[in-house]
Amino acid sequence: MARKTKEEALATRNLLLDTAEHLFSSQGVANTSLHEIAETAGLTRGAIYWHFDNKSDLLTALWERVAASLRASFDGEDSEHGQDDPLGKVRLKASYKSRHIESSPQIRALLTILMLRCEFTKETHSAGEYFLREREHAYACVRKDLDRAIAIGQLPASVNAEQAAIGLFGLIDGLCFHWLINPSRFSITTTTLTAIDAYLAGLSQTPSVR
Amino acid sequence: MARKTKEEALATRNLLLDTAEHLFSSQGVANTSLHEIAETAGLTRGAIYWHFDNKSDLLTALWERVAASLRASFDGEDSEHGQDDPLGKVRLKASYKSRHIESSPQIRALLTILMLRCEFTKETHSAGEYFLREREHAYACVRKDLDRAIAIGQLPASVNAEQAAIGLFGLIDGLCFHWLINPSRFSITTTTLTAIDAYLAGLSQTPSVR
DNA sequence: GATGATACATACATTCTTGTATGTATGCAA
DNA sequence: TTGCATACATACAAGAATGTATGTATCATC
């Protein structure tokens, strides 16, 4: 086989991405060789090295494939219908995000890779960096919403916004982590929502000391 | 150099464990070779293969070194002073665990390895299994406490114990995860306590629908 | 329809890592 | 004090993975 048309080349590229995503998420990044990816895809390493620089670059490409979608799912509803309801906004964001993770196998696979199947070393450096940066962005959003909630009285002024944001963030992340380990155990969408509701309710009730 | 006394041999073994713990937690398990561990410890791979079967066995030994301590920190206070206060018990347990994680570099390093620096593949299989089993145990404890809390009216009967336990567990885990990524950002002990208080307060307030 | 760039496959060299086999000096027991 | 097991170090073999260099058929362009 030799040169394909542009569409065919793009198809092989996507096939490689799909194959890598599947193998990475099921066996781990370091434990998957480029040879295995190529062979599983019915190709050779030549194809991989044509489309990507190395394993790290391949992983980065996996990230870039879903990054836009992930970001959109989180702050897509940032400026909804004019109402000033930061707490509701946070709730909605978390809901959208969970639903997205639960419904998109691609996002689920990538999160599995980044949270459970890679080591954040040189090999995974750039993708890991992007992931951490995305988390920073998400945290900043949550933090801003909580600040606003305190400002307009949705939360008591005694609430420590930073502590509360870290807790909320940890809650969302922890449920995601737990769900990725054992997806059949519960629905991340509904559980995240109920848990967040409880947490926010607790925040507005107890004037969390200090 | 040749044969040492038993104490010296034990010291060597511990040196290897310490070195491996440090390298694993800072560079990742797959990214650290046995040669590097031996060299860093001022020894050779011969020493490693004398004390351990392979890398996987070494990792398992790392787990076993702190497993008892970890377990004790979690359900050590299971039967305290007779009082029937399951919610307070959960609070205390989480508090002890966080404090333990924050104060013991060894436990922190091992959790870093298991949550951030390994891939849960064959190489890390047995240690990973132990870790997951430990999590299962912790979850079961939390679940039991929440059941009891509902039974004695500390929480409204409308609370879904399983959902609530998963949420609480996710909260603890998520904060731990977040803290391991960025330990300088906050104190896991105080933040976990305030977050759990908010969550539990919310649980007892809202009769979480469905 | 000749030509160059494309989209890979193949071949090669090198490095890294593991596992094992063997060497060896010494502590300890009889 | 002899003898054996211990606690490693050293040496060796083999495979796996990577990166690169090269081959090659075909698409697109003129």
Q: Which nucleotide is nearest to A9 (CA to C1')?
A: C7
Which two structure tokens, joined as six digits, stand for B72?
A: 């004790």
pLDDT at B77: 55
Q: What is the pLDDT of residue A68?
A: 83
Q: Which of residues 19-78 of B touch strand C (CB under 7 A)?
A: 33-36, 45-46, 49, 54-55
Q: What is the pLDDT of residue A31?
A: 95
A75 in a domain, yes or no?
yes
A16 pLDDT above the threshold of 60: yes
A96 shares its domain with A169: yes
Same domain, A96 and A39: no
Shared domain check, B182 and B158: yes
How distant is C1' of D13 from CA of B66, in Å? 37
Q: Are residues B46 and B83 in the same domain?
A: no
Q: The domain containing residue B22 runs over which residues? A: 1-52
Q: Which of A29-33, A74-78, B22-26 is predicted with the least confidence, judged by mean pLDDT?
A: A74-78
Q: Return the ∠ at Cα A208 (arms to B73 and A192), rounded to 5°.
A: 70
Q: Are residues B198 and A167 in contact, defined by beta-carbon separation less than 8 angstroms?
A: yes
Task: Please report whether residue B210 resides in a domain.
Answer: no
CATH of the domain at A17: 1.10.10.60
Rounded-to-10 torsion of CA A13, A14, A19, A24: 90
Q: Is the CB of A34 under 7 A from strand D?
A: yes
Asked if the structure places residue B7 within a domain, the reply is yes
By residue count, chain A amounts to: 210
Residue B191 CB partners (closer than 8 Å, separation 6+) = A163, A166, A167, A170, B175, B179
Mean pLDDT of the region B151-163: 95
Query: Mean pLDDT throughout B142-157?
Result: 94
- SS3 category, B82: coil
Residue B37 and residue B15 in one domain: yes
Q: Is the CB of A12 under 7 A from strand C?
A: yes
- Structural domain includes residue A93: yes
- Which tokens belong to A155? 């939360």
Instruction: Please give the pLDDT value at position B210.
Output: 34
Domain check: are A1 and A91 in the same one? Answer: no
Cα A100 from Cα A110, distance rounded (Å):
13
Output DSSP code: residue A102: H
pLDDT band at B208 (very low <50, low <70, confident <90, very high): very low
Residue B186 near chain A (CB below 8 Å): yes
Assigned domain for A113 exists: yes
Residue A210 covered by a domain: no
User: Are B87 and B48 in the same domain?
Assistant: no
Of the pLDDT bands very low, low, confident and very high (cuts 50, 70, 90), residue A78 is low
Mean pLDDT of B135-158: 94
pLDDT at A122 over 90: no
Hey, which residues 150-169 in chain B have their CB within 8 Å of chain A? 160, 162-164, 166-167, 169
Last residue of a domain, which of B52, B68, B85? B52
Q: Are residues B15 and B63 in the same domain?
A: no
Residue B178 phi/psi, 5-degree rounding, is -60, -40
A99 and A131 inside one domain:
yes
Q: In which band, very low, low, confident or very high, does the pLDDT at B76 lie, cut at 50, 70 and 90?
A: low
Residue B35 domain flag: yes
Residue of least CA–C1' distance to C20? B49
Residue B76, domain member (yes or no): yes
pLDDT at B6: 80
- Mean pLDDT across the stretch A130-135? 93
Q: What domain count does chain B have?
A: 2
Q: Is the CB of A206 under 7 A from strand D?
A: no
Residues A90-120 as b/e (b if ≥16 CB within 10 A, e otherwise) read bbbbbbbbbbbbbebebbbbbbbbbbbbbbb
Whichever domain contains B78, its CATH number is 1.10.357.10
A133-165 pLDDT per residue, tens? 999 999 999 999 999 999 999 999 999 999 999
Predicted confidence (pLDDT) at residue B193 exceeds the cutoff of 80: yes
At A208, the pLDDT band (50, 70, 90 cuts) reads very low
Largest CA distance in chain B: 70
Chosen domain end from B11, B30, B52: B52
B26 pLDDT above the threshold of 90: yes
Residues B170 and B87 in one domain: yes
* Spatial contact of A207 and A159, defined as CB atoms under 8 Å apart: yes
pLDDT score for B131: 94
Out of B25, B52, B79, a domain closes at: B52
- Of A145, A109, A179, the C-alpha closest to B167 is A179
pLDDT at A171 over 60: yes
Q: A61-75, A89-103, B40-54, B159-173: which range is least confident on average?
A: A61-75
Q: Are A62 and A48 part of one and the same domain?
A: no
The mean pLDDT value of chain A amounts to 90
Rounded-to-integer distance, Cα A107 and Cα A100, Å: 8
* B122 contact to strand C (CB, 7 A limit): no
- On whether both A15 and A97 belong to a single domain, the answer is no
